[in-house]
Structure 1
Amino acid sequence: MRPGGLWTTIAAELSKQHRNRRKGRATYFSLLFWPALSFLTSYYTMKPYRTGEGSVLSRIIPDERIPLFLLSGYLVFQLFWTVVEAAWIFEQERKDGTVETVFLTPAPKIAFLYGRSLYSLLHGIWMFAVFSLLTFVFVSDISSVNWTALTLALLLIMVAAVVWGALLSAVSLFSRESSFLYYIFQTPMELFGGVRIPPAVFPAWATGVSTLFPVTYSLILVRGALYGTIGTTWWWALCILAAGSIVLAGCTRYVLYRAEHHARLKGNWSLF
Structure 2
Amino acid sequence: MKRFLKSVTAEAIKQHKNYFHSKMIYVPLSLWPLISFVSAYYSFKPFSIENAQIPYLNEENLILFILIGYLCMSFFRSLVQSAWFFSFERESGTLELIYLTPVNRMSIILGNALSSVFESVWVMAVFAGGILFLKQHDLNLNIPAALAAAALMMLMAVSWGLFLNSLFLFSRDTGFLFTILEEPMEIFSGVKIPTVLFPLWAKMISLIFPLTYAVEAMRGVFLNSESIYDLRTFIGTSTCIILVLFLISGVCLLLGERHAKKTGNMSLF
**TM-score between the two structures when normalised by the length of structure 1:** 0.92
**How far, CA to CA, are the matches of 2:68 and 2:259 in structure 1?**
40
Query: What corresponds to 2:249 in structure 1?
Result: 252
Tell me the amino acid that sits aligned with residue 264 of structure 1: K
RMSD: 1.7
Percent of residue pairs bearing the same amino acid type? 33
Residue of structure 2 equivalent to 1:119: 115
Instruction: State the distance in 1 between where 2:105 and 2:185 align.
Output: 28
AA aligned to 1:210 is S
Q: Is 1:266–2:263 an aligned residue pair?
A: yes
The count of residues paired between Structure 1 and Structure 2 equals: 266
Unaligned runs of 5+ in 1: none
Q: Deviations over 1:51-85 (max 9, x none)?
A: 13xx1145451454211111000000010111111
Is 1:131 matched with 2:127? yes
Equivalent residue letter for 1:49? F
Where does 1:1-272 land on structure 2 (aligned, <5 Å)? 3-52=1-50, 55-59=51-55, 61-62=57-58, 64-141=60-137, 144-230=140-226, 234-268=231-265, 271=266
Q: Distance in 1 between matches of 2:68 and 2:24?
A: 25
Q: Deviations over 1:197-226 (max 9, x none)?
A: 000011111111111111111011111110
**1:223-272 deviation per Cα after TM superposition (whole angstroms, max 9, x unaligned):** 1110133267632122101111011111111111011112223334xx55
Bigger mean CA deviation after superposition, 132-141 or 207-216: 132-141
In structure 2, stretches of 5+ residues that fail to align are none
Identify the range of structure 1 (10-19 vs 132-141) with the bigger mean alpha-carbon deviation: 132-141
Taking the aligned partners of 1:11 and 1:255, their CA distance within structure 2 comes to 22
Q: Deviations over 1:25-70 (max 9, x none)?
A: 2111222110000000111111111113xx1145451454211111
Contact 1:68 1:140 in 2 (8 A): no
Letter in 1 for 2:232: W
Q: How far did residue 104 of structure 1 move?
A: 0.8
What is the Cα deviation at residue 143 of structure 1?
Answer: 6.1
Query: What one-letter code is carried by the residue in structure 2 that aligns with 1:91?
Result: S
SS at 1:23 equivalent: coil
Normalising by structure 2, report the TM-score.
0.93
